[in-house]
Amino acid sequence: MSKFVHFAAAAALAVAISAPATAQDVAIRGAQVHTMAGPAIENGVVVIRGGKIAAVGPAATTPVPEGIDVIEAAVVTPGLVDARSVVGLSGFLNQPDDQDQLEESAPMQPQLRAIDAYNPDERLVAWLRGLGITTIHTGHGPGALVSGQTMVAKTVGHTADEAAIVPAAMVAANLGEWALANGGKSPGTRAKQIALLRAALLAAKTPDTPAKGGKDGDNGTKPAGLDTQVLRDVLAKKLPLMVTAHHAQDIMSALRLKEEFGIDLVIDGASEAYLLLDQLREANVRVILHPTMARQYGELQNASFTTAGVLRAAGIPFALQSGFEGYVPKTRVVLWEAAIAAANGLAWQDALASVTIDAARIIGVGQRVGSLEVGKDGDVAMFDGDPFEYTSHVTGVVIDGKVVSRTPQ
């Protein structure tokens, strides 16, 4: 059976078991509960009421209110967080009508909003949800110098507005080969990429000019364009600039932009991050590391299974991601990426953190998701064994207190 058929079957199952549900009071009892806020709890329980976590602790000492549903699981974790994706803009059919992750009409389009293209009913969203992923940072992808904006969304909701946690999360920029134009078009070199970015940021710093016949101070200024308004939010640190950069020279160019303009910078991809540990640490940037198993050629020719462990040892905050793939089913699964990292130098608990609490913090929603703590969103993933074992399965998923996926035991 082909990989595509396997995917289609899994997607159909995810849709079937994820029928709309209402918020409910529910308790999840697990032989192991990984809260990501402290040590794992043996024979623990998570109580969710009104969509929020109401209690977490050992089952022997944490009362479960009478009359609420109790779900049993071998292993319980927070709902998984994918720190970088294009799912919902990029669809599983891989046809022009469901590929909205990249607009190629101009090299710089920061005004493009992910929420305007996000399809919450895309089958890939349901597929990821069935695999324990409850929160995604998704939006415009690589391929242009500034491809647009990203958003943070739950993997439930019938509209983009219902799904969105952060409608505008970051501005996605790209340096290196993926964002170079061909045929004499701009930008054709790395130097031109940086020159265009610097020019746009410098222009955004310039005050609006008076409109013809108007005067400063009397609403006579010409309003800035949408692109300039977005870049002003970047300069004001209201929106981070997420720069996809793999080669060390491109990462250094991004760090120079941060130093010159004082922006909040997130490095995405970072295949050669291990060559710049001191520089990344001193710049105090966050890293959304390339998928561990990404095909290592072209921009990712120096990617490594061990980079996650190296970043952790160096004290550089990072998360793992699914990224973007040009082939069906168009996405990776961060749970499997974390498993490979755990087999190649990253401690088990750190690997789980890279797709839960660390990922949530890096994309700016750590106060809501990523760990099982009282007051946080009731997002839970359940497994019948070690989540990083290939033979383990997701047996249930709860999002905001809604049981959206459950396998009968």
pLDDT tens for 23-77 read: 679 999 999 999 999 999 999 999 999 999 999 999 999 999 999 999 999 999 9
- Give residue-wise pLDDT tens across range 77-129: 999 999 999 999 999 998 889 999 999 999 999 999 999 999 999 999 999 99
The beta-carbon contacts of 150-154 under 8 Å, at least 24 apart in sequence, are 150/114, 150/242, 151/113, 151/114, 151/115, 151/118, 152/363, 152/364, 152/365, 153/88, 153/118, 153/120, 154/379, 154/399, 154/400
d(CA 399, CA 345): 31
Instruction: Write the CATH number of the domain with boundaries 80-369.
Output: 3.20.20.140
Average pLDDT over residues 14-29: 65
Global pTM? Answer: 0.92
- Give residue-wise pLDDT tens across range 331-350: 999 999 999 999 999 999 99
Domain chopping of the chain, boundaries: 1-79+370-409, 80-369
d(CA 129, CA 135): 9
**Per-residue pLDDT band at 222 (split at 50, 70, 90):** confident
d(CA 86, CA 90): 6
Cα three-residue angle 89-93-99, rounded to 5 degrees:
30
Q: CA–CA distance from 170 to each of 9, 120, 202 (Å)?
A: 33, 19, 19
Instruction: Write the CATH number of the domain with boundaries 1-79+370-409.
Output: 2.30.40.10
Q: CA–CA distance from 104 to each of 142, 246, 301 (Å)?
A: 11, 21, 25
Residue 172, phi then psi, degrees to nearest 5: -95, 115
What is the DSSP pairing of strand 286-289 with strand 265-269?
Answer: parallel
**Per-residue pLDDT band at 12 (split at 50, 70, 90):** very low
Q: CA–CA distance from 240 to each of 142, 169, 222 (Å)?
A: 16, 7, 26
**Per-residue pLDDT band at 212 (split at 50, 70, 90):** low
Q: Which residues is 45 bridged to in the sheet?
A: 29, 57
State how far Cα 260 lies from the chain centre: 27
Peptide bond into 58 cis (omega under 30): no
**Per-residue pLDDT band at 3 (split at 50, 70, 90):** very low
**Per-residue pLDDT band at 216 (split at 50, 70, 90):** low
DSSP state for residue 87 in the 8-state scheme:
B
Report the pLDDT value the prediction gives residue 328, as an integer from 0 to 100. 77
d(CA 32, CA 75): 5
Element (H, E) at 191: helix 190-205
The share of the chain scoring above pLDDT 70, in percent, equals: 91
Contacts of 78 (CB under 8 A, 6+ apart): 34, 35, 36, 356, 357, 369, 370, 371, 372, 379, 380, 381
CB-count burial class (<10 Å; 0-12, 13-18, 19+) for 24 = middle
Asked, colleague to colleague, whether 1-79+370-409 and 80-369 share their fold, the answer is no
Buried/exposed code over 364-379 (b: 16+ C-beta within 10 A; e: otherwise): bbbebbbbbbeebbbb
d(CA 367, CA 46): 18
Report the pLDDT value the prediction gives residue 215, as an integer from 0 to 100. 56
What residue has token string 């005067």?
215
HSE-CB of 214 using CA atoms within 13 angstroms:
13
Element (H, E) at 42: strand 41-49
